[in-house]
Structure 1
């Protein structure tokens, strides 16, 4: 409902109420005039005038009448605002305005009196449509449309026919009527009685039909439908019973003429808007309950407290949330049993929950729920999708935590392997050279002649030079001095110069990355160049290194045979773990016969030097 529609409703209500108050005739004769009794037909009003409850109008009755009509409009306004796509709210507003128009019957103006006398019961067909078309206000079956149309004819043509043969001024009562009936054709008490009894009997039949339909729908309805329909249905039945009772008094049905029956006109009619307001409030509380159910997502899986809270919120004990098992291409319940979606037209319906066009679950609910509370169902659907997404994220997080643990284990294993390799390389290389130098120096110290000593010293110095060269080369492989001194571009150029194959280095970081990023990127490039040289049968290699404000991207491309894979415990696997430990991504693209591309991307903002 937009502001313009709301203003129109308020303005129309104010105009009708103002017209009723202004047109009111407060003279003594008008206050006791039976023909001006509100909400009653001509025969019922004069029966009431003959006792035992003479209709004497007063300020209190006017307040009750206007209050009930305004309550209709207010309830319709609330319902329309809560559910703008349904007809229930506008219909109740129309019923309230028609109710208020009936107040013009207290006017002494013949035209206003006659119009109000005809529209006295026009609000009833509108309420009948609300009851039969619950919860949307739309009539679903042809017989319902015919029936409501017949009620409109009865409330207009039938009531007009009653007044065509009834002149209230010609009826002898304690307080004679002064009302002028402009519909009067000929005053004939016999014809008037027959017409009025016929209209009253048909009205009773209409009330009985509505009662039977409501009772049947209640009996066969689902728990969700009963829960939604209970307030309005109960109020409608009370109003129908009281209306039928008042009509029974018009025909002097035995036991029907009681003073308290007429006094129930306004309170029983006001029950209907109260029921509508109660239903809307309960709907809002249900939305709050759905929101409370969402808070249970973090403490229980979808099969736990969350689903239980949803069932309470929508009053549907059959509601269930299934997940989609992609490996089996079917839905499974909380116990892991395979489930098939309900067939259309059955007691249950289902809506498939998707993410990116791929099914992730299904919400199964009572068929009456979409019609009873479409907005509430939409909220439940959104909450269920959120629950499944939360469950998926939790599973992904568990998988990532497991991968982190496995990555740490691989890093620890790689570190142990690297330490053993360092130990072996030092033992087999520089250590052996140093041992040999020590032996030669010892022999030189024990040598008797100068020539032998000089020869041994020269050999020892040679061993020391060789050991020093091997240590420098070894240290360069562990962490090249060029990287620490001049940064990643210079280290990559040095790597290209030492490589066996032609290596082309392109790109340059806009600013120097943190040291840990530089080291990781260098070792990715070194491992990729080594693999291309040893295994790929490549002819050329290209290294691209680029940065922007957020990340550093290193790409090593060779034109070898391809077919490389990341093997557990291999060099590429260790590099992938090293990149992941810094929050980056490692990608390997190596189709057979089409070369290999190794790409490592490192975030710069989340890493400090």
Structure 2
């Protein structure tokens, strides 16, 4: 080759290779027409196989210079074309016949090794896995060893040999049985190698991404047919008569099956890429007013990769279109392509797209402005998520501090005041003066009032019944202490997160206080139910209505508290028709 794989070939290089293939094919046809007993259609069929591989290789090399597939298919076309005269049954006294026999005996097996190489390295032309490299190495080793062994032991069996019977000019051992046994063993080894290669292709297609699986699946299916034809042909060569019509059918069948199995899937993938290029223009119009989700969906469709993700780099890492932290390693085996410098976005995609860099770059340029807008949206969403998380942390810390204060009041100051009350009771029993006893009694009454107020304060901070028994008993106790008629219906069968329980409790507490303050004499209904991972709390009264978040800090504080834990609060208070507070709180 006059140009290396991975570089774009010049028109002169392609023209030279094309002319050389035409010269070889013409020479083969002239040689077969002049000296072979085979009819012209059979000659053309043999010659066309090599020409097809070479033409497909030149086209693939020109259209996809980054891939080595075109170069390998061109090389395979040369090998098949050089091998062609070996199957023409040329006369033994033809000048140069010994050289044709040696060249044909070597290329007979080399073409199978090279076909396996192209197939195992498909579609990039590179052997990327250990199994593929091992199989290709075995194929070349078997081709070289088999050629040497058969050429040095060849004793042709005139009635049964296929495709032609020639005396070997380099024969060293003239043992016919040894030759036939070696030929059978080598043929079976090729069949087994082909079956293992097909199994590796099936496994590779099953483990590949959706984008590559479509192309690999097609190539694997066609290769399976070719391997089946080759297997039957090998059995016929080993045990039957390869010169029978059935043997000829499978001989030509597995050759043309290889022609279909190698170039056709490559051009199928190339056609898909060209269609994807055509859709890049439409991508611009679709992304004019696109959101982050729309950009991701449009790029998936254009690049034919349903697993593609768009991530946006921020100071503390990558985030997705919703502003949530994103770890590319969580998807496993993905490739990352930064867009821009500094990168506006990062595409997380199927590794197969690395072989279609032009398409990837074209789609990225078309989506650049939309991705920039989506990045800003993702940044805002990430900041909003951080604000919400901060509010929730503040709420959690405030509840923990309330619980600590309630515990300190209950176990500290309240217990000391109760101790003082007991001491006053003992002192009052020892006094004899009525005036003094009355004074101590007055102190005891003031002390009981102080203890009751302290308990009310502790209950307002965070009631112990909520901490110890849960939401249902706490709401029931709250209803009993309220200064209005309250019906309670709580259907929560398990303990919830302490922050969620506290939010629900303070929602009901604030609502009942508003009823007592602004709708004296009105009745109220409190309900709470757990549906899956959502807690719904509702407080309704039959008061005058007209409540508004803007009217006071109480409802505004409730709204902030509910939103801080990721919930939603709805307030319905039409004038004259009562007030209803309905909150939905996440419990996941």
What's 1:359 paired with?
Answer: 343
Return 5+ residue gaps in structure 1 as ranges: 32-56, 396-609
Distance 1:78 1:386 in 2: 35
What are the within-5 Å matches in structure 2 for residues 123-142 of structure 1?
Answer: 123-141=111-129
Distance 1:219 1:394 in 2: 37
Aligned counterpart for 2:200 among listed residues 213, 216, 225: 213
What are the within-5 Å matches in structure 2 for residues 458-607 of structure 1?
Answer: none
CA contact (8 A) 1:311 1:318 kept: yes
Distance 2:143 2:14 in 1: 28
What's 2:78 paired with?
Answer: 97
What's 2:582 paired with?
Answer: none
Distance 1:276 1:297 in 2: 31
Aligned counterpart for 1:121 among listed residues 109, 120, 135: 109
- CA distances 1:13-41 after superposition (whole Å, capped 9, x unpaired): 123212212322545xx42xxxxxxxxxx
Distance 1:174 1:363, change over 3 A: closer
- CA distances 1:381-430 after superposition (whole Å, capped 9, x unpaired): 333335325768999xxxxxxxxxxxxxxxxxxxxxxxxxxxxxxxxxxx
CA contact (8 A) 2:233 2:251 kept: yes
Distance 1:349 1:251 in 2: 47
Are 2:210 and 1:223 equivalent residues in the alignment? yes
Distance 1:60 1:313, change over 3 A: farther
Larger radius of gyration: 1
**181-190 or 241-250, which moves further after superposition?**
181-190
CA contact (8 A) 2:300 2:307 kept: yes
Q: CA deviation at 1:344?
A: 8.9
What's 2:149 paired with?
Answer: 161
Aligned counterpart for 1:70 among listed residues 51, 58, 61: 51
TM-score, normalized by length of structure 1? 0.53
- CA distances 1:507-527 after superposition (whole Å, capped 9, x unpaired): xxxxxxxxxxxxxxxxxxxxx
Are 2:221 and 1:234 equivalent residues in the alignment? yes
What's 1:19 paired with?
Answer: 27
Distance 1:318 1:142, change over 3 A: closer
Are 2:184 and 1:194 equivalent residues in the alignment? no
What's 2:286 paired with?
Answer: 296
Q: Secondary structure at the match of 2:288?
A: helix
Are 2:266 and 1:281 equivalent residues in the alignment? no
Distance 1:275 1:358, change over 3 A: closer
What's 1:378 paired with?
Answer: 361
CA contact (8 A) 1:122 1:156 kept: yes
What's 2:567 paired with?
Answer: none
Distance 1:240 1:265, change over 3 A: closer
Q: CA deviation at 1:175?
A: 12
CA RMSD in angstroms, aligned pairs only: 3.4
Q: CA deviation at 1:95?
A: 0.7
What's 2:15 paired with?
Answer: 7
What's 1:36 paired with?
Answer: none
What's 2:65 paired with?
Answer: 84
What's 2:39 paired with?
Answer: 58
Q: CA deviation at 1:349?
A: 3.2
Bigger RCO (CA 8 Å, 6+ sep): 1
Distance 1:212 1:258, change over 3 A: same
Q: CA deviation at 1:6?
A: 0.8
Distance 1:274 1:211 in 2: 17
Distance 1:176 1:230 in 2: 32
- CA distances 1:160-205 after superposition (whole Å, capped 9, x unpaired): 422332333x635799977443233343221011100110121112
CA contact (8 A) 1:330 1:338 kept: no
Distance 1:129 1:375, change over 3 A: farther
- CA distances 1:427-476 after superposition (whole Å, capped 9, x unpaired): xxxxxxxxxxxxxxxxxxxxxxxxxxxxxxxxxxxxxxxxxxxxxxxxxx
Distance 2:33 2:145 in 1: 27
- CA distances 1:78-128 after superposition (whole Å, capped 9, x unpaired): 221222122111001101111111112124432223312321232222221
- CA distances 1:484-506 after superposition (whole Å, capped 9, x unpaired): xxxxxxxxxxxxxxxxxxxxxxx
CA contact (8 A) 2:276 2:359 kept: yes
Return 5+ residue gaps in structure 2 as ranges: 1-8, 379-588
